[in-house]
Amino acid sequence: MERIAIVGVGQTKHEARKIQDSFADMVYEAVKMALEDAGMGVNQVDNVITTSNDFWDGRTISSMATGDVSGARGKNVSCVEGDGTFGAFYGMTRILSGSYGTTLVTAYSKGSESESPMITNAAFDPIYMRCLGLDLVTACALQARRYMKRYGITEEQMAVISVKNHLNALSNPNAHLGLKITVDDVMKSRKVSDPLKLLDCSPVSDGAACIILAN
């Protein structure tokens, strides 16, 4: 199989609330950085993929709103409803098809303008499950409890992952929560939904990212 390279990357600072930036502002910043990182002009990009999550934005095909700032004018553009990882995978398959040589992929989220419990509750079956009040965090808590029972692990062992992830974030100046914490810090943080605690859970962030793929 042909190998695909990531030749440029760009990422805004991820924050709890970017009041000053719209979706387009964030994506433009990330695209500009990715093009500079690749040493390319937007005219050297064959096609564009914009990625977002309609649930978070409260509108259908919301990533259409960022096509222009992603450099899609005069190019084939595809809108992906999902996360940035899926957008990157889709970009790779476009190049592997032989139709394109370079693909620019953008993704963004502005969680500060959404109500996470209400939005993620809507992802559940409307007849039997939604009325239980499940949301992303409580559903993950049920999965965590099941995982602990099945594989015989403890909350302290799960906390090691949080310690590792927050430490890794310190290496990225754009990360939302880069922290040097201990297992004990995680265990003492506020319980959100048993067995998950505050430091087990990811924050809701505002930010955008862009990658440029090439054959």
* Cβ pair 209, 30 in contact under 8 A: yes
> What pLDDT, on the 0 to 100 scale, is given for residue 20?
87
Confidence of residue 67 (pLDDT cuts 50, 70, 90): confident
> What pLDDT, on the 0 to 100 scale, is given for residue 143?
95
* Cβ pair 195, 145 in contact under 8 A: yes
SS3 197: strand
Would you say residue 21 has pLDDT above 80? Answer: yes
**Across 187-215, average pLDDT:** 94
Q: Which two tokens stand for residue 183?
A: 């297992």
Confidence of residue 63 (pLDDT cuts 50, 70, 90): confident
Would you say residue 144 has pLDDT above 80? Answer: yes
Rg (CA), the chain: 19
CA-wise closest residue to 27 among 215, 209, 211, 212? 209
SS3 2: coil
| Tens-digit pLDDT profile for residues 78-116 | 888 778 888 999 999 999 999 999 999 999 988 888 888
> What pLDDT, on the 0 to 100 scale, is given for residue 199?
94
**Across 186-212, average pLDDT:** 93
> Any idea what DSSP says for residue 195?
T
| Tens-digit pLDDT profile for residues 74-85 | 888 888 877 888
Write down all domains in the chain, each with its CATH number in brackets: 5-113+205-214 (3.40.47.10)
> What pLDDT, on the 0 to 100 scale, is given for residue 1?
66
For tokens 């999550």, name the residue.
Answer: 53
**Across 124-143, average pLDDT:** 90
> What pLDDT, on the 0 to 100 scale, is given for residue 111?
82
Confidence of residue 36 (pLDDT cuts 50, 70, 90): very high
Long-range contact set of residues 54-59: C-beta below 8 Å, sequence gap at least 24: 54/81, 55/114, 55/119, 55/120, 55/122, 55/123, 56/109, 56/110, 56/111, 56/114, 56/119, 57/23, 57/110, 57/114, 58/114
Q: Which residues pair with 107 in a beta bridge?
A: 51, 209
| Alpha-carbon distances, residue 20 vs 15, 23, 24 (angstroms) | 12, 10, 11
**Across 8-18, average pLDDT:** 93
Ranges assigned E (strand) in 60-157: 76-81, 102-110
